[in-house]
Structure 1
Amino acid sequence: MTTAATSVYVYGIVPADVEPEPHASGVGDPPGEVSVIRHGEIAALVSMLESDRPLGTPDDLTAHAELLDGSAAVAPVLPLRFGAVMTDTEAVENELLGANEDEFRSALEQLEGRAQFVVRGRYVENTILRELLDENAEAARLAGEIRDKPEDATRNERIALGEMINQAIESKRAEDTRKVVAELEEFEPLVNQREPTHEEEAVHIAVLVELDRQKDLEETLRRLGEDWDGRVELNLLGPMAAYDFVMKRAPEG
């Protein structure tokens, strides 16, 4: 009976004194047990994976993110992109850790005590439309023209109104994103503005902040959410690994 060849799946880079949670599991079916490979002051979070086992199931993606995000809540972690597989533990130690030791150690020092959070907000459709029509007389006129009329008869007006609304929402989004960033200035964050994933998205930013300020961050966004009650639905995700700021790709091996 032949034993399946294995590779090493790498999740991210951590300080050498980090220990994985007992029974922590990673990608694969069955999930691989997570361990660490150390080199000097840094280490890699890894698990073994059958070499011929394809990656990319929803469970794999979830396991990758959950391990990194759980680690980021207690220690600095430099996340690798999903799918980082190397031939064996020697390759991880020499080609990944040894070859990038100074860069990885410096990045971990910058992440010490910090984690990423994502702020997302979506406009409440009826509220934002009413706001836009109140501010734009031409849009209000077009809306009045097409009300209760068949689509075919008002096609041009509907297209023109749709373009006006899209442009107005883009302008609102930029303005409201600036407001959120300004509200968060006290946390001295690193900020990455993400592309909107929905046409009615009001704000979508990633911020890197001190972990011990999490409750203050939640309170600031709660107050902002109250100010925007009925206009924008705000959500805060995290803590998570610093994907937007230090994502790395493992060398082929």
Structure 2
Amino acid sequence: MRDPSGKSGTVQSDRSKSEKHQASGRRGTGSGKRPRTTGSERSGAPERGAGSYIYGIVPADVELTPDTLGVGDPPGQVRLVRYGEIAALVSDIPTDRPLGRPDDLMAHQRLLDEAAAEVPVLPLRFGAVVTDAQAVVDELLTPYHDDFRNTLNELEGRAEYIVKGRYVEQTILREVLEENPETARLRDEIRGRPEEATWDTRMRLGELINTSIAAKREADTAALLDAFTPLCVAIAVREPTHEQDAAHLALLAQTDRQPEIEEALAEFGTRWAGRVELRLLGPLAPYDFVRT
């Protein structure tokens, strides 16, 4: 890390006007801050044979719209379990069936990302289940209350953004062949010859190409780091997910700096037109910057 200094519904902040969270066109509602509670606030308890699935931790003064749904088939309604100045996003889930469908993972991420667009959120790993709401309080919120509250305060107004770059295959191969005479020689050597007769040469050519692309990835990632560092609170370099990845960065930034991040990325898009395809994802929950 580099430090430079189903359907999920809507998560709303119940803060005074001067303290409302704003991101991506959404804004908090409510006229007053929720007072500190001394125990759990529960909206029902899991049915028999069900557990409480935990998505993440948010400030206690958050409200949910009634259509906020989470994992499961059918999706469970998400509610808040509050303790002190923090709350857990939870829903009931049957314990007699496996959890892990792609739709469940997507619902988990979607809920956290939509929450992060409006309020600070600490995401839990997919699959966190306890027996009931009281266990959420006893096992999670009570022992870690101060740590969670302090981290949420640090994340106020911040979210994660992902910058992903993928090389255009023909362009990057042409660069490698033009810059490395050895790769061009090996390419000419295998041209028109059967694969079984040139296996070793092909292996050597592939190694040289991969090494060259890795060097380009390192240089291009460094260029993006230099550009984004002044705009971010922290940056994490992610491992490539494809051999033709040009860069894969996670940015922790103030949400009000999103236009500047978009502008910086657009400049690289112009500079690398036809060479690198760039994408920006976010605001997202800060998966790369918190550990819960």
Q: Please confirm whether the aligned pair reaches a TM-score higher than 0.5, indicating the same fold.
A: yes
Distance 1:62 1:207 in 2: 21
Correspondent of 1:79 among 123, 128, 142: 123
Distance 2:127 2:232 in 1: 32
Distance 2:51 2:198 in 1: 61
Q: Which digits, 9 at most, give the CA deviation of each residue in 1:87-110, with x for residues without a partner?
A: 111111121001101110111011
- Is the Cα–Cα contact under 8 Å of residues 118 and 204 in structure 1 kept in the other structure? yes
Corresponding residue pairs, total:
246
Q: Which digits, 9 at most, give the CA deviation of each residue in 1:31-76, with x for residues without a partner?
A: 1111101111100011111221320011111110010000000000
Does 1 or 2 have the higher relative contact order (CA < 8 Å, sep 6+)? 1
Deviation, 1:194, is: 1.0
Q: How does 1:1-253 map to 2 (within 5 A)?
A: 4-248=48-292
SS of the residue 2:166 aligns to: strand
Deviation, 1:210, is: 0.6
Distance 2:137 2:109 in 1: 22
Once the two structures are aligned, what percentage of the paired residues are identical? 56
Residue identity matched to 1:150:
P
> Where in structure 1 do 4 or more consecutive aligned residues deviate above 2 Å?
none
Residue identity matched to 2:223:
K
Shift of the 47–55 alpha-carbon distance from structure 1 to 2, 3 Å rule, reads same
Q: Which digits, 9 at most, give the CA deviation of each residue in 1:197-236, with x for residues without a partner?
A: 1111110111111111111111110110110001010111
Distance 1:147 1:130 in 2: 16
SS of the residue 2:249 aligns to: strand
Structure 1: unaligned runs, 5 residues or longer: 249-253
Deviation, 1:188, is: 2.9
Q: Which digits, 9 at most, give the CA deviation of each residue in 1:117-141, with x for residues without a partner?
A: 1111111111001101111111111
Give me the TM-score of the superposition, normalised by structure 2. 0.82
Partner residue, 1:251 = none
Give me the TM-score of the superposition, normalised by structure 1. 0.94
- Is the Cα–Cα contact under 8 Å of residues 13 and 77 in structure 1 kept in the other structure? yes
Residue identity matched to 1:201:
D
Distance 1:43 1:136 in 2: 57
Distance 1:245 1:79 in 2: 10
